């Protein structure tokens, strides 16, 4: 019997090391990992250079890890063990905070401290001032809209032993708005706005973006400022009573929940809104006509995410109401602009939206010269106030 136990052990071990590669070879290879939101490694290409440098073989390790049989099950199990069995607070760089808020893990590498150094914040404010001066010279106006990131707004929900960057976030906020004040740059600080009514929840628990309430409040403030402070002849912001607000029945797959393989139960749902008085428009994504403002799933059971708003990030989106009496708007920023666009367009003749992380045909300045907007709005989250790349780069460093 003892011998039987040993033979069984050998069979199990050999079974694992012989079966997994065979099953891996037999299964259909996948190009993209939906869970990890990334392309999987491709089969390494053999060449004399790659062979001699060792690169060919090292790529095999990545390839095998990406395509191993049952990969999703392996990584889900790993997440489960870390989350439930080992009780880790940091699971795949996600922290489960108070009330089930999924927050980003802030490492001790000082990445955000460097990104938001005083030097970077000063440079950012200087270039915002330069941009505003250019627009004012042309008879236009500019607004910097600062939005707290989900991690920033919910910083008090972090477990006590983890850093929440509270001091840094306070300092970034203080510095940038002080500097904007000193330089007379028009801004809207959504952190102040959100904190005026803390009964409303402005953020998803399981996604890094604001929810409909956050987007609506931001839209409201932008239009109110442009109309009231800027004196532009546009209709006032739409009240909720002016909107048909629809709660989508689909399960919500937030970006942070995706990072932990949707292991955090979430009952959140996405809300979308249409003006009750229809405003005709035509819309183009990267030059191609596409009239959808919301990208809905084909059935109610399908999981949806923040990509519902405008179909995710596009380099350039143009929405025209073709009402020449109204001014033209240019908005640029990261994905925080996506949920604003279906509401903002209603107030303008032409709304152009750029994501400078992806747009590389011309610089922001050249774009302004080309399309002559009356109002320019930059939307930025507070963890990226000092980030001079992507949407923080105005002079075309990304232009091809």
325 is a site residue for other proteins (CB under 8 A): no
Please state, in angstroms and rounded to a whole number, the distance separating the CA atoms of residues 307 and 339.
Answer: 9
Given the complex with other proteins, which of 19 and 322 has the nearer CB atom? 19
- Is-contact 313 341, C-beta < 8 A? no
- For residues 362 and 109, give the distance between their C-alpha atoms in angstroms, rounded to a whole number: 34
- Of 18 and 371, which CB lies nearer to other proteins in the complex structure? 18
- Residue reference for tokens 């073709």: 322
Alpha helices in the chain (DSSP H): 2-26, 48-53, 55-67, 71-80, 111-115, 118-137, 150-153, 166-182, 190-196, 212-224, 255-259, 341-344, 364-371
Residue with smaller CB distance to other proteins, 157 or 350? 157
Site for other proteins in 163-202 (CB under 8 A): 163
Instruction: Considering only CA atoms, give the Rg of the chain.
Output: 25
Q: Residue from 52, 241, 289, 301 that binds other proteins (CB under 8 A)? A: 52
For residues 211 to 240, the per-residue mask of contacts with other proteins, x marking binding by CB under 8 A and - elsewhere, is ------------------------------
Q: Kindly state the smallest distance separating residue 303's Cβ from other proteins, in Å.
A: 23
- Specify whether the CB–CB gap between 254 and 304 falls below 8 A: no
Considering only residues 10, 114, 136, 279, which one is a binding residue for other proteins as defined by CB under 8 A?
10
Among 33, 40, 41, 64, binds other proteins (CB under 8 A): 64
Choice between 75 and 193, CB closer to other proteins: 75
Distance of CA 113 to the CA centre of its chain: 20
Q: Which range binds other proteins by CB under 8 A, 10-18, 193-201, 313-321, 376-384?
A: 10-18
Calpha distance 132→117 (Å, rounded): 23
CB of 162 to other proteins, least distance (A): 6
Binding-site member from 41, 162, 193, 248 for other proteins (CB under 8 A): 162
CB of 83 to other proteins, least distance (A): 13
> Which stretch in 2-10, 199-207, 248-256, 340-348 sits in contact with other proteins by CB under 8 A?
2-10
Encoding tokens for residue 112? 């955000």
C-alpha span between 244 and 246 (Å, rounded): 6
Minimal distance in Å, beta carbon 7 to other proteins? 6
| Contact pick of 33, 40, 44, 75 for other proteins (by CB under 8 A) | 75
In 3D space, the residue among 251, 246, 247 whose CA is nearest the CA of residue 302 turns out to be 251
Nearest to other proteins of 93, 372 (CB atom) = 93
Q: Residues 16, 23: contact at Cβ < 8 Å?
A: no
Give every CB contact of residue 49 below 8 A, 6+ residues apart in sequence.
55
Tell me how many residues contact other proteins (CB under 8 A). Answer: 43
Closer Cβ to other proteins, 76 or 361, answer by number: 76
Binding residues among 96-155 for other proteins as defined by CB under 8 A: 108-109
| CA distance from start to end of the chain | 72
**In this chain, which of 43, 81, 114, 245 binds other proteins, going by CB under 8 A?**
81
Choices 64-72, 276-284, 301-309, 361-369; region in contact with other proteins by CB under 8 A:
64-72
- Residue from 33, 41, 44, 88 binding other proteins (CB under 8 A): 88
The secondary structure of residue 362, as a DSSP letter, is S
Angle between helices 118-137 and 364-371 (to 10 degrees): 20
Helix pair 118-137, 166-182: axis angle to 10 deg: 30
Could you say which of 27, 47, 65, 170 contacts other proteins (CB under 8 A)?
Answer: 65
Q: Is 333 helix (H, G, I), strand (E, B) or coil?
A: strand
Q: Which of 29, 30, 47, 58 binds other proteins (CB under 8 A)?
A: 58
Closest CA to 319 of 336, 296, 337, 344: 344
Which spans of this chain sit near other proteins (rule: CB under 8 A)? 1-3, 5-10, 12-14, 16-18, 20-21, 24, 51-52, 54, 57-58, 60-61, 64-65, 68, 71, 74-75, 77-78, 81, 86, 88-90, 108-109, 161-163
């Amino acid at each position: 019997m003892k011998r039987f136990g040993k033979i069984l052990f050998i069979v199990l071990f050999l079974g694992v090391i012989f079966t997994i590669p065979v099953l891996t070879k037999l299964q259909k290879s996948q190009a993209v990992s939906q869970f990890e939101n990334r392309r999987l490694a491709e089969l390494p290409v053999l060449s004399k250079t790659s062979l001699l440098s060792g690169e060919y073989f090292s790529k095999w390790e990545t390839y095998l890890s990406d395509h191993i049989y049952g990969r999703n099950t392996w990584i889900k199990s790993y997440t489960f063990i870390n989350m439930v069995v080992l009780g880790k607070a940091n699971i795949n760089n996600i922290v489960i905070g108070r009330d089930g808020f999924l927050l980003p893990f802030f490492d001790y590498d000082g990445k955000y401290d460097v990104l938001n150094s005083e030097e970077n914040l000063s440079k950012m404010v200087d270039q915002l001032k330069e941009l505003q001066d250019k627009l004012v010279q042309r008879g236009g106006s500019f607004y910097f809209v600062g939005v707290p990131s989900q991690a920033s707004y919910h910083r008090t929900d972090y477990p006590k032993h983890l850093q929440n960057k509270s001091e840094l976030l306070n300092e970034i906020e203080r510095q940038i708005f002080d500097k904007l004040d000193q330089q007379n740059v028009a801004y809207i600080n959504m952190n102040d706005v959100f904190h005026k009514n803390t009964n409303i929840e402005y953020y998803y628990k399981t996604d890094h973006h604001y929810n409909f309430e956050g987007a609506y409040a931001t839209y409201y403030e932008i239009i109110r400022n442009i109309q009231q402070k800027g004196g532009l002849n546009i209709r006032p912001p739409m009240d909720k009573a002016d909107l048909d607000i629809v709660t989508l029945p689909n399960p919500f797959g937030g970006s942070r929940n995706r990072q932990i393989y949707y292991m955090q139960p979430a009952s959140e749902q996405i809300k979308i809104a249409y003006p009750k008085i229809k405003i005709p428009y035509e819309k183009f994504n990267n030059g191609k006509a596409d009239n959808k403002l919301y990208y809905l799933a084909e059935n109610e059971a399908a999981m949806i995410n923040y990509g519902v708003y405008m179909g995710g990030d596009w380099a350039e989106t143009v929405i025209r109401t073709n009402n020449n009496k109204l001014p033209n708007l240019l908005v640029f920023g990261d994905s925080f602009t996506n949920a604003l666009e279906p509401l903002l367009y209603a107030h303008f003749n032409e709304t152009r939206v750029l994501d400078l992380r992806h747009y590389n045909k011309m610089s922001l300045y050249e774009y302004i010269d080309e399309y002559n907007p009356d109002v320019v709005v930059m939307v930025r989250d507070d963890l990226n106030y000092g980030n001079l790349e992507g949407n923080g780069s105005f002079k075309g460093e990304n232009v091809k």
